[in-house]
Amino acid sequence: MTAGALVVVVASAALTGCSPAAENGPRVPHGIGPARTTTETARLLHDAEQWLLRACMRRAGFDYHPVPDDDPPSVERAFPYVLTEPAWAGAHGYGSDLERRRRDLAVRDPNRGYFASLPAGRKALALLAANGPGPDGVRAALPTGGVVRRSDRGCVSGAQRELYGDLRAWFQASTTVHALDAIRRGRVLADPRYADGVRAWARCMRESGYRYPDPARTRAAALSPATAMSPGRERALARAEVRCAERSGLSATAGRLDELHAAALRAEHHRAVAEKDRLEAAALPRARAVLGGRTEH
């Protein structure tokens, strides 16, 4: 379910560091963690945190529906470098159908409707209950420089403290590891070996009748509202991209570089990676206890 107005504020921090693949979806590129938190483990931790958040919000006098971690995957997340799966391309093209589904889920989100129904004063109190009084309780230094701050009070922080034990350590470790995924993707895209693969891919695409210089341009053309590409044309373009990714070697090159830069980042930030892995492992028994004792009322 897509997060709504309240959930965007409440749950976005709760999701920091969690990016499992959607069930039955494409293979999302690996995270940075040494154990590469499995989908099952990540979902267990996510669900437990959501139920702790629900309990806290209800104690504060507000309704909250736990948000399942089952959003349809975006093409950017599932295939950050180039489309590689023929079945996915044939079914979804570049994912415009999944984007429509995400929008539909957002409209029907019960948290969005509940938050919209609150009077202005109650909305402010709900946000205070969720997020705390101000971003001055915990801080995390980013690998790229700069600092992220957040309140150490409120239900989001309370749920994470109850689940992970050490809120400050969790906030720093999860923020760092989450940021490494974007850094890894950026390094792959900037790698000269990836650029060589893209040139070979573009030649293949031209031979197939498509004049796009790189995969980013194909998905931009397919998903731009100004282009209004039909579903059939979108899927045909996506299938051509997959074929050329295989024939040109770009698919293999991108996968190899993704692993290479992931390993380098794990080595560079091994302390944060190990700390996040340790905190998640320690949280699993608590997560199982939370979910084992949950009730719908």
The pLDDT of residue 295 is 62
- pTM summary value: 0.83
What pLDDT is recorded for position 8? 40
Kindly report, residue by residue over 227-260, the tens digit of the pLDDT: 778 999 999 999 999 999 999 999 999 999 999 9
| Alpha carbon separation from 52 to 72, 111, 126 (Å, rounded) | 24, 16, 16
- The closest of 49, 47, 66, 48 to 7, measured between CA atoms, is 66
Can you list the alpha helix ranges (DSSP code H) found in the chain? 5-14, 39-59, 75-78, 86-92, 96-108, 110-117, 120-131, 155-164, 167-190, 192-207, 215-223, 231-248, 250-268, 270-292
CB proximity list for 101: less than 8 A, separation 6 or greater: 72
Below-50 pLDDT ranges, the chain: 1-25, 27-28, 30, 34-35
Residue type, 147: V
Q: Which of 45, 17, 290 is nearest to 170 (CA)?
A: 17
pLDDT at res. 256? 98
Summarised one tens digit per residue, pLDDT across range 111-154 is 999 999 999 999 999 999 999 998 889 999 999 999 999 999 99
Q: What is the pLDDT of residue 166?
A: 96
Q: How high is the pLDDT of residue 26?
A: 53
User: Residue type for 152, please?
Assistant: D
**What distance in Å separates the CA atoms of residue 52 and residue 160, rounded to the nearest whole number?**
8
- Cβ atoms of residues 30 and 36 within 8 Å: yes
Amino acid at position 110, single letter: P
Helix axes 39-59, 155-164, angle to 10 degrees: 130
Question: What are the domain boundaries of the chain?
Answer: 5-133+149-292
Distance CA 87, CA 64 (A): 37
